[in-house]
Structure 1
């Protein structure tokens, strides 16, 4: 398929990258921590991969090469953001700018099981976000995206033993952080159903 794209059948590019869209997005999100920025990084990674497709060598899997491009794009974007001055949130906006309130859902319509699932999902997501970057990357590639150990090592340009050690440490950190919180969520949900 890569040869066909390089030969001019560029409409096949989408078919080539479609299986990796989620992996690329999850990797971008692990760096950016913001869905909109992660989408931008993912989009730019696909554009860069298209432009550099002729430089792809089949020494590694296409997915590994694509994740590497995503990682580089995210790191570049973060470096650029660090150089940009941020406006403080405590300043009032200009008077001519209107702020519209967000629409709020009616919480009575949400079943308690859905609320509990959302609470657990948020707890896990926050815990993963708090992992140091080197552990978070390995955890997302192995346990979320289900890449093999060698694919993860190739995508992050680290050794296989490093992947194993980092993954073990990431899981231990998550277990230590989540165990007490999940017990609290479980107790709270049981109390909701008691008379």
Structure 2
């Protein structure tokens, strides 16, 4: 989601929307629709629920737009609303045990490095194969929400440490701890499946 839009003045757009020009809201959220949906889908695991979460997140953002003060980017604020909506829906459905967002210690045992130095070191030619992409998405899905949301924001959406911390309402230090453990969990699961690959590209591009 961290995409620059040099021709957009989001502060001006938000001011116009709050002044009554609600038609601009769609233009405001347009660049983020796909990322919000992807984030929702990574938690809900099925398209209808993900669509509901994304739609509700956009509606809540519209209703709360007057509360947006601009301390963070609009995209960060929007993702935070999306994550909260997904968590709330999961709690209501009682399908996923939600871990404490304040938990920093004891978030997993020691994980020994295996064949990949980093889960992101997946070769570009492998990423082009649907079966490998499916393995990556499945591996992300195996992470608990505590780690999955940090990994998605940092390594998929390419949020900064500070933006990730703001979106998740945790400290930058907690982001770093959870991100390190999430990456180690990912490489532990992926290394045996990709052991014959020759790493050349670092970033996983989620299409």
Larger of the two Rg values belongs to structure: 1
1:20 aligned residue (20, 27, 32): 32
Structure 2 partner of 1:156: 168
**Number of residue equivalences:** 157
TM-score, structure 1 normalization: 0.74
Q: How many angstroms does 1:82 deviate by?
A: 2.2
Matched-pair contact (CA < 8 Å) for 1:127–1:177:
yes
The yes-or-no answer on 1:82 pairing with 2:100 is no
List per-residue Cα deviations over 1:134-158 (Å, max 9, x = no partner). Answer: 1110110111111111111000011
Q: Could you say what the CA RMSD is over the residues aligned between the two structures, in angstroms?
A: 2.2
The yes-or-no answer on 1:172 pairing with 2:170 is no
User: What is the rounded CA distance, in whole Å, between the counterparts of 1:36 and 1:131 in structure 2?
Assistant: 21
TM-score, structure 2 normalization: 0.70
Q: How many angstroms does 1:41 deviate by?
A: 0.3
User: What is the rounded CA distance, in whole Å, between the counterparts of 2:92 and 2:180 in structure 1?
Assistant: 32
Larger helix share, 1 or 2: 1
Structure 2 partner of 1:72: 84
Q: Would the alpha carbon gap of residues 132 and 82 (structure 1) be closer, same or farther in structure 2, given more than 3 Å must change?
A: closer
Provide the secondary structure at the position in 2 that maps to 1:127: helix
User: What is the rounded CA distance, in whole Å, between the counterparts of 1:176 and 1:82 in structure 2?
Assistant: 28
Q: Structure 2 unaligned runs (5+)?
A: 1-12, 96-124, 199-207
List per-residue Cα deviations over 1:25-49 (Å, max 9, x = no partner). Answer: 1221222111221111001100111
Structure 2 partner of 1:44: 56
User: What is the rounded CA distance, in whole Å, between the counterparts of 1:185 and 1:58 in structure 2?
Assistant: 44
Matched-pair contact (CA < 8 Å) for 1:26–1:140:
no
User: What is the rounded CA distance, in whole Å, between the counterparts of 2:196 and 2:139 in structure 1?
Assistant: 15
Q: Which has the higher contact order (CA 8 A, sep 6+)?
A: 2
1:124 aligned residue (120, 129, 136): 136
Structure 2 partner of 1:142: 154
